[in-house]
Amino acid sequence: MEPELSSLGLERAAARVVGEYLDVLGSHLPVGRRARIGIRAEIADGLACAIEGRMVRGEPARSAAVAAVADLGDPRELALAFAGQLGPVTAHRLGVALVGSGPLVGLIWVAARSDGGSDWPARVGTVLAAVPLYPPILAVTVPAAVVAIAGAGWFARRRPLPRRLVTAAAVVAAIGCVAGDLSLLTAAVVSQPVGRPAPALVVLAAAASVVRLSAVSWAGRRIVRLRAAGC
């Protein structure tokens, strides 16, 4: 018996019906393992309550389970409904992460450019000169991240945006972030003299970009899966 069913006290016949329903639901959920387990547990708990209520009224366990899952609807459509809810929320989180981490990562890269002297505007100019594509990337990524943020939270409650627009903006923002960080890393490698160890700040900046690259790539792939599911 599945973990989410073993603690609900369902009779074997009812547990089998619920387990089959949850298996179909889980196979169509475009989410990670942890989220899938949480959704299955939530649905299992609701079904157990519905089954118990029917059994109290005298229905056999299996009939009660069949009726309960029928009331809940097609598991494939339920999975799509969950995907539709998760898409904007995931896009919102990605947008917040990008807007929050962008200035910090950027400042580390600017600080790492010692060839700009102690003048911070000069250091910024040095970074932009080394990565000429970075300003156009920012011009696309930042607005896309802002649209992604608007997919959930305060703004969405007052002026909701189409889900497809929000998730598309999040994908664009993720691609822009990856392109920007890869450009910074490439410029750092090219400008580093052969045989000389990289300064500590350069290593720190590169590490920050690599960590952000990994996190954004993972979130971007998840949003792509949610979009493919129809959200």
- What does the pLDDT profile of the chain (231 residues) look like in tens digits? 455 566 666 788 888 899 899 999 988 888 778 888 888 888 999 999 999 999 989 889 899 999 999 999 999 988 888 888 888 989 999 999 999 999 999 989 988 876 655 677 777 888 888 888 989 999 999 999 999 999 887 787 888 888 889 999 999 999 999 999 999 999 888 887 777 777 888 899 999 999 999 999 999 998 988 888 765
Query: Which residue type is seen at 168?
Result: A
222 and 171 fall within a common domain: yes
Residue 80 lies in a domain: no
Helix (H) or strand (E) holding 21: helix 12-27
91 and 203 fall within a common domain: yes
- Which pLDDT score, from 0 to 100, does residue 214 have? 94
End-of-domain residue from the set 38, 73, 108 = 73
186 and 222 fall within a common domain: yes
- Which pLDDT score, from 0 to 100, does residue 120 have? 73
Residue 34 lies in a domain: yes
Give the torsion sign (CA, 84, 85, 88, 89): negative
153 and 216 fall within a common domain: yes
Q: Which two tokens mark 220? A: 């971007």
Strand, coil or helix: what is 161?
coil
Strands (E), 151-206: none
| Total number of domains in the chain | 2
Q: Which residues contact 22 (CB under 8 A, 6 or more apart)?
A: 2, 4, 5, 40, 43, 44, 75
Tell me how far the alpha carbon of residue 56 is from its chain's centroid.
42
Closest CA to 86 of 218, 193, 219: 219
51 and 102 fall within a common domain: no
Q: How far is the CA of 16 from the CAs of 38, 41, 69, 158, 166, in angstroms?
A: 19, 15, 12, 43, 39
Residue 127 lies in a domain: yes
28 and 119 fall within a common domain: no
164 and 98 fall within a common domain: yes
Tens-place pLDDT, residues 178-204: 999 999 999 888 887 777 777 888 899
Tell me how far the alpha carbon of residue 230 is from its chain's centroid.
16
Domain limits at 180?
85-228
Residue 129 lies in a domain: yes
Give the torsion sign (CA, 47, 48, 53, 59): positive
| Cβ contact 184:137 at 8 Å | no
- Which pLDDT score, from 0 to 100, does residue 146 have? 94
Residue 79 lies in a domain: no
**Radius of gyration, alpha carbons of the chain:** 24
207 and 169 fall within a common domain: yes
66 and 90 fall within a common domain: no
DSSP-derived secondary structure letter, 115: G
pTM: 0.76
91 and 190 fall within a common domain: yes
219 and 196 fall within a common domain: yes
94 and 190 fall within a common domain: yes
